[in-house]
Amino acid sequence: MKSVVSYPERGNYGKSNWRGNTSGLLIKDLIEFASQNTRTPLNSFLFVDACEGSGTSGDVCKELNCQYVGLDLHKGNDFTKDSILASLPREADTVFTHPPYAEMIQYSGKQWGNQLIESDLSNPKISKEEFLERSQLMLLNQRDATRTNGLYATLIGDMRKKGQFWSFQADYQNMMPKDELISVVIKMQHNCKSDNRTYGGSFIPILHEYLLIWKKKGASIYKVVWDNALRLKRSIASSWRNAIRLAFMKLGGKATLQEIYKEVEKIAGNLIKNNKNWQAKVRQQLQYHFRNVQRGVWAV
């Protein structure tokens, strides 16, 4: 694998009619690179795709004879709510995601299923700020499911809409530990719907995506959130809502108020330090954004 890659053909992997489908040749290169980097033979290598889509990664893993777990919202696993690690036989050697870029391609209710799912990152009702908050949950979830010295990676692109431009990869890098990022690979895009359009003036079409690759060190998920919040004055990691979401992820999606307090206290130490009434803040966020399923018990 090199810092710039191009795959004009996607290979015979997954379903070619699934919009936004990643080239299986990229997945193959990533797995072979990760196997070498982690010194793990392919026949004992566990690769996880938490945005499986049409099954491209599974087809690649079958060809390479490595272990595979595929998760996706359309299969019932939501990486912003459900622990990836809880669905695995062991910590993975590599966890990969290729999330939707906000509403560029709508998946639930259009690509698959009849109903638009609220937590789908392609939901057009989700703001860019909410998209980034949920993206960080995805990345922390990936990291948590990766073994120490294993790799976690995501493929993300830029977006231009209504005169505004977002480079999500820059936000993604800020969300995660700086000392764990080992490479940024630029992947050229091919066979896009926009390829046949003619653009004029100063408009520059987007023809690439970014593959961000991190190598997990031994720090716990709590220390990662803490260090990021200290490093950035306005870190997405420091939001109360994300701290509570992380707590629910660790607690299986439903918990008592006392259990939530205990978990949030570990995750959001920097927030609690400056807020003597932090428990009231937690209760406020629970009322605004979560479900009270019975007296004293809350759920995502």
Q: Encode pLDDT of 170-221 as tens digits.
A: 989 988 888 999 999 999 987 655 555 555 556 677 788 999 999 999 877 7
pTM of the model: 0.80
User: For a pLDDT cut of 70, what percent of the chain falls above it?
Assistant: 80
pLDDT at 266: 83
User: pLDDT at position 237, please?
Assistant: 42
Residue 264 has pLDDT above 70, yes or no: yes
Instruction: State residue 113's pLDDT score.
Output: 64
What's the pLDDT score for residue 73? Answer: 86
pLDDT of 59 above 60: yes
Name the residue among 141, 99, 95, 87 with its Cα closest to residue 249: 141
* pLDDT reading at 36 higher than 70: yes
- Residue 112 pairs with which residues in a beta bridge? 108
Per-residue confidence band for 30, with pLDDT thresholds at 50, 70 and 90:
very high
pLDDT above 90: residue 273 = no
User: What pLDDT, on a 0 to 100 scale, did the predictor assign at position 48?
Assistant: 98
Q: What is the pLDDT of residue 17?
A: 66
Mean pLDDT along residues 57-85:
92
Residue 187: the pLDDT is 93
CB atoms within 10 A of CB 226: 20
Q: What is the pLDDT of residue 290?
A: 92
